[in-house]
Amino acid sequence: MPDSKTYASAVAGIGTDLVEVSRIKNMLEKYGDSFLERTYTRAEIDYCRRRANPEIHFAARFAAKEAMAKALGTGFDGSVTLKSLSVENDANGAPIAVLDANAIVKLKEKGAEKMLVSLSHIKDYAQAFAVASK
């Protein structure tokens, strides 16, 4: 069995973020489509709008963007933007991290090959974890 050093060496970066759903709901009410278009990809907008409570799903994806930026170690530095990092779902509904070309360059610069993401939400909060792995 591999020791803990083997597992640690497979991780190039981690990130987490917690978002109040009310914050995203207020942004949606105040700025509407302009907020959505600046922040989310078309796939994310379409997915969230199909849900019974879109704001909670938008909040989870916002948290995921922040968590992925932290895992990259870049934040949103200009080359990596909110729309550079997104979340889609596989056929079973599991979240999949989707990175644009600029974010992929940053991922590879960290020595990583893939980004893993996990989302969770309850009534008032949405949380995400991201791992950049080799």
According to DSSP, the β-strands at 125-133 and 114-121 are antiparallel
Q: Which domain holds residue 79?
A: 12-133
Average pLDDT, the chain: 94
Query: Residue 1: is its pLDDT beyond 60?
Result: no
* Number of folded domains that form the chain: 1
Long-range contacts of 76-85 (CB under 8 A, 24+ apart): 79/105, 79/106, 80/106, 82/38, 82/39, 82/40, 83/38, 83/39, 83/40, 83/41
Interval 55-83: pLDDT, tens: 999 999 999 999 999 999 999 998 999 99
Please report the pLDDT score of residue 39 as a whole number.
Answer: 97
Is residue 29, in this structure, part of any structural domain at all?
yes
CATH of the domain at 107: 3.90.470.20
Interval 17-63: pLDDT, tens: 999 999 999 999 999 999 999 999 999 999 999 999 999 999 999 99
Residue 41 one-letter amino acid: T
Is residue 1, in this structure, part of any structural domain at all?
no
